[in-house]
Structure 1
């Protein structure tokens, strides 16, 4: 199970109104993610680490069993009391929202601690990551992340993490449009026995949140690293009051609201709590109607109030509330978007922040002029990182100049949207996060990255069914790298992370990316594929059926130990209006295998076509056309020379086929006045491995 598996199962929205922290790490081979809400469990003494084992969660969803537990350091008999005191930037004891994560460097103890809490721990070395909130009257609070890289506990110990030692952390970009997005502070700790460091991250809005960071004076460790990370774009929502004393309001979209592209000036009026009697006395037509709702309302009750605002004629609604727990939740957003009926149609903003309360106070006294600009998709993108090892550096106010960055020309093929993520490789791990930017598909975007080694991924509007992952690329300052996403032809891909098909003793296991794009980026098989995919996976041994499954991309087959000739056949059809190409894919792989191949990737071949299509994955009709072609094998399998390749083309969805000459590493076809091109190929190598591949509607014609 990889981190990629976890993120596919639960993609996060592109923006988050509230600051947050979380930690991600591996333990005993499983991935764990601890959110900031776990701090309450630590304070109450009810924290259970296994509740945050996301690898185990995915296993249970798929019917697998958890591995047997091993003895952890928190089961040792010798223990000491560790007291962690947090002080805010006023020197007062830190209050609500503050907390600390304790990380065992040499014993793998992981536990959250409350704002001023005690925890019983075995002797050892610990990293401490604190998140300290300092309230400010009529303003957003400030946030400090104070870290102790290496605390030695050999007796009862008290330590104080003081936000007043924090230095202001910020990143300025010379592109004024890229003022929105996400700012993050990272700490990384290398724990004994783990291949990747624990990653602790806190996230903020670069426009509204004042952030500080520091490590305890004199504390350093070769097991510790620090980073500032920026994922920047235009703000999704820019709401300003106008006039001499105008100010920006911290707001995002409410729950299941439509998210149109707007650039408008409005009059904001107060709609009370959105009840009919509150709205009866106001002129709401064409205006922004702000309503104040108690956080105790359910989502359905809130929807009803918003529908009242909609019926009153508002152009835009806005909900200001005192509590977020029951309003504007990601879970309700996901469930409602899956429903065929939207709860309301008026675009509606949401906030509980100090600036929104200030706006509500003003609107309650009388109408207020506001300007509203929204960017549902990004036209600017910056992925930046500033790193240090051993301690938090003294200089945390960074400046990024576009000309000193690396440029990535990301071409997003197809229609709709593409949601993008990136991670910088650093300190043996990855500076990633699970929040995405929504980019416009059908365009090629010029994007900017800090020089370094990065990985990228993207998914379409249908999440886990359409995740694409790219191998790491090294980006250099002043240089441009071109990357194509979702480019035709989509078909089986066997490069990159894997193995996708492997011999495991007397078992053959497969998890095949049958929908890799034309650049070779694999789409990970998804547990949701049954929603739109129909097909099967069948294994034959020396011509005799071993077994068959109605899941086309994954399978587990029990086989004898001795050498035999196998054929693995995958048939898959995707019937969805958002999936116009590669509607049917059939692949038949022939190979030899025995138990002596234990742990080795199977020698599967595939044929990858890379036609010069436009951003709609279309090529010109009524002309001769050349298609670059490659015969590729599963990464890590034994190399062998390709001995043959034949290709055929069809222009009637596979009813009839015509030979397509292969000349070198290209295929020659003659496009007629048709709508689609289908492709069929056969390839073999000197190791007696073969593949037969058919892709219906490989690309379209224009």
Structure 2
């Protein structure tokens, strides 16, 4: 059609949905001038719906009973609601859908999680879809050494249909003892994955009646001191009700106290200690005694444990029938950790078994250096799958300091980022946001890397291989100098509570206004000039008593650049012969190596010299230390305390 200038015209547009097929479509109607250039256009869109069918959803629990439930229905166009919720009926277009639902049920020793997922339900007619918990199978994580799930357990499903995707996840406290998932057929349209995240360590405590298999399912109370690492065997005595406990027959034994109201135990345990009792077992009013032990804070006078109501009744009945002793074992200093991401791609098999070994894991020897007096830190190795941008459903856990642990980490395409804070945090049910971290990475099966966290010398520096270099871009200095890095390349941390840091920038000897941190953007004149960046850090906490203050100064020249260019801030890396407490033992002489490097992208420094001064009286006096070259841009200094 031709439209004269200043006129308008109607253009009929005919669409044949049968030829288009089901889906969403768009296009353009374009008007051009005589020379072919575009004068105007308008967008057209079309949605072609497929035939609609009714699906009736039935949900069966683990005992075979049909239950009222509205499982999630999701397809290429998103979530589908129920047209008749009372009858669990939904009307959907023809196509492929995923349906899923989950349960939490009680067991004698805690909770069980069940998840039923039907990832590929193809709807071509009215139909009934059944989600049956009886068909679920356990997810088994087999470890080389005895281990228990500690901290949050989580699992997730990922489904992609027609270019749209859905990730659903569930987390639960470590009262969850088992996870069950429904086996599936292999998905043929789109992508499907089931994954579960586990963190397993040596059992914290096991309490079993001697010469039997009767496990009390005991938990340390949060403020309980621990039994010695070699364990203990104690005769159990019924001490009555917590409101009026009688410890007269429990000297040198473990007192079993019924606590039907859940009253606080501090005063009760003090009374027991005064009577010569060795430990206290509280019988809870719930079927499980689950609680969480914390390594820090005021401690009870005695080891204090809690067991469930039914287990407690059985224990008291055994005591009434005759002499009953209980064997206590366990450790809070597990020499191993299993960080597991169990993955089933495109199909959940009939048996879901993940056996941890060097064939599917890296074996990481990890040292947690101790810089204070609390003895404990917070850490987490966050893991996420390729379809995720970050980790979720993973929180905080405790680790001893001055300690080396063998950590098995699932290899493959799971990304991991380890974060370690030098002290404990209050709320373990929040993601750990404080502390040092490394860059996200994957691990190679069979790899044996080593990690050291908070190892000396902890100081400000730009980590080797950093993804956030300190650069000049035009007239902007993008300063990105972390306040704290440690002995391992890539580890860095900003300040946290109890830390202070400051920075001052000078240009040709004049202080630049508005600079208080070495992690900020600073606009400067275009002309080339000499700069000096001074940085101070300090820590005032019982959790950090090694290297409590640093003072660092960098001098460099810089002028306007046409692209982001690394600034020539020389960096010093240290190799110090310290132990796991960041200390050099004894009075013998020892060596400290200092390596000088430039930021990546700059030439290797030339003509470098290093002067080292040492203080042996906490910084009151300083003296020059003998230093000599020890390789390219590496220097060795000899120190004699």
TM-score, normalising length from structure 2? 0.71
Q: Which has the higher helix share?
A: 1
Pairwise CA distance, 1:370: 0.9
- Preserved contact between residue 94 and residue 132 of structure 1 (Cα < 8 Å): no
**Higher Cα Rg: structure 1 or 2?**
2
- Residues 344 and 128 of structure 1: is their aligned pair in 2 closer, same or farther, counting only changes over 3 Å? farther
- Preserved contact between residue 501 and residue 512 of structure 1 (Cα < 8 Å): yes
2:332 counterpart residue number: 376
2:102 counterpart residue number: 131
2:350 aligned with 1:350? no
Pairwise CA distance, 1:439: 4.7
**Of 318, 336, 347, which aligns to 2:281?**
318
- Preserved contact between residue 184 and residue 229 of structure 1 (Cα < 8 Å): yes
How many angstroms apart in 1 are the aligned matches of 2:115 and 2:578?
48
- Residues 626 and 421 of structure 1: is their aligned pair in 2 closer, same or farther, counting only changes over 3 Å? same
1:413 counterpart residue number: 369
2:468 counterpart residue number: 499
The equivalences for 1:406-445 within 5 A come to 406-414=362-370, 416-417=375-376, 419-423=378-382, 426-429=385-388, 434=394, 438-445=398-405
Query: 1:645 is paired with a residue of what secondary structure?
Result: coil
- Preserved contact between residue 159 and residue 165 of structure 2 (Cα < 8 Å): yes
The equivalences for 1:185-584 within 5 A come to 186-189=155-158, 198=167, 200-202=169-171, 209-214=177-182, 222-244=190-212, 246-262=213-229, 263-275=231-243, 277=244, 279-280=245-246, 282-294=248-260, 297=263, 301-322=264-285, 328=291, 337=296, 342=298, 344-352=300-308, 355=311, 358-359=314-315, 362=318, 368-401=324-357, 405-414=361-370, 416-417=375-376, 419-423=378-382, 426-429=385-388, 434=394, 438-452=398-412, 454-463=416-425, 467-472=435-440, 475-495=443-463, 498-499=467-468, 512-528=481-497, 531=498, 533-541=499-507, 543-547=509-513, 556=520, 559=523, 562=526, 565=529, 567-584=532-549
- Preserved contact between residue 487 and residue 574 of structure 2 (Cα < 8 Å): yes
Query: 1:164 is paired with a residue of what secondary structure?
Result: helix
Pairwise CA distance, 1:214: 1.7
Pairwise CA distance, 1:381: 2.6
1:317-372 per-position Cα deviation (integer Å, ceiling 9, x unaligned) = 23333359999579xx69xx56xxx2633221234476456446655777632111
- Preserved contact between residue 337 and residue 408 of structure 2 (Cα < 8 Å): yes
Pairwise CA distance, 1:622: 4.9
2:113 aligned with 1:143? yes
How many angstroms apart in 2 are the aligned matches of 1:366 and 1:149?
56
Query: 2:610 is paired with a residue of what secondary structure?
Result: strand
- Residues 564 and 356 of structure 1: is their aligned pair in 2 closer, same or farther, counting only changes over 3 Å? farther
Pairwise CA distance, 1:202: 4.3
1:289-330 per-position Cα deviation (integer Å, ceiling 9, x unaligned) = 233334675xxx444444444444432223333359999579
- Preserved contact between residue 518 and residue 608 of structure 1 (Cα < 8 Å): yes
- Residues 285 and 482 of structure 1: is their aligned pair in 2 closer, same or farther, counting only changes over 3 Å? same
- Preserved contact between residue 286 and residue 309 of structure 2 (Cα < 8 Å): no
- Preserved contact between residue 460 and residue 466 of structure 1 (Cα < 8 Å): no
Which residues of structure 2 form unaligned runs of 5+? 1-52, 426-431
Pairwise CA distance, 1:376: 1.3
Comparing 150-159 with 510-519, greater Cα deviation is found at 150-159
Which residues of structure 1 form unaligned runs of 5+? 1-79, 675-702
How many angstroms apart in 1 are the aligned matches of 2:613 and 2:80?
58
What CA RMSD, in Å, does the superposition of the two structures yield over aligned residues?
A: 5.0
1:69-92 per-position Cα deviation (integer Å, ceiling 9, x unaligned) = xxxxxxxxxxx9999765321123
Comparing 98-107 with 142-151, greater Cα deviation is found at 98-107
1:171 counterpart residue number: 141
- Preserved contact between residue 422 and residue 432 of structure 1 (Cα < 8 Å): no
- Preserved contact between residue 519 and residue 610 of structure 1 (Cα < 8 Å): no
- Preserved contact between residue 201 and residue 338 of structure 2 (Cα < 8 Å): yes
Pairwise CA distance, 1:403: 7.4
Pairwise CA distance, 1:238: 0.9
- Residues 218 and 609 of structure 1: is their aligned pair in 2 closer, same or farther, counting only changes over 3 Å? closer
- Preserved contact between residue 161 and residue 191 of structure 2 (Cα < 8 Å): no
Query: 2:612 is paired with a residue of what secondary structure?
Result: strand
1:17-55 per-position Cα deviation (integer Å, ceiling 9, x unaligned) = xxxxxxxxxxxxxxxxxxxxxxxxxxxxxxxxxxxxxxx
How many angstroms apart in 1 are the aligned matches of 2:521 and 2:119?
47
TM-score, normalising length from structure 1? 0.65
- Preserved contact between residue 626 and residue 666 of structure 1 (Cα < 8 Å): no
How many equivalent pairs are there? 563
- Preserved contact between residue 161 and residue 189 of structure 2 (Cα < 8 Å): no
How many angstroms apart in 1 are the aligned matches of 2:577 and 2:456?
9
How many angstroms apart in 2 are the aligned matches of 1:117 and 1:671?
81
1:658 counterpart residue number: 624
- Residues 669 and 303 of structure 1: is their aligned pair in 2 closer, same or farther, counting only changes over 3 Å? same
Pairwise CA distance, 1:237: 0.9
Pairwise CA distance, 1:501: 5.4
How many angstroms apart in 2 are the aligned matches of 1:193 and 1:594?
49
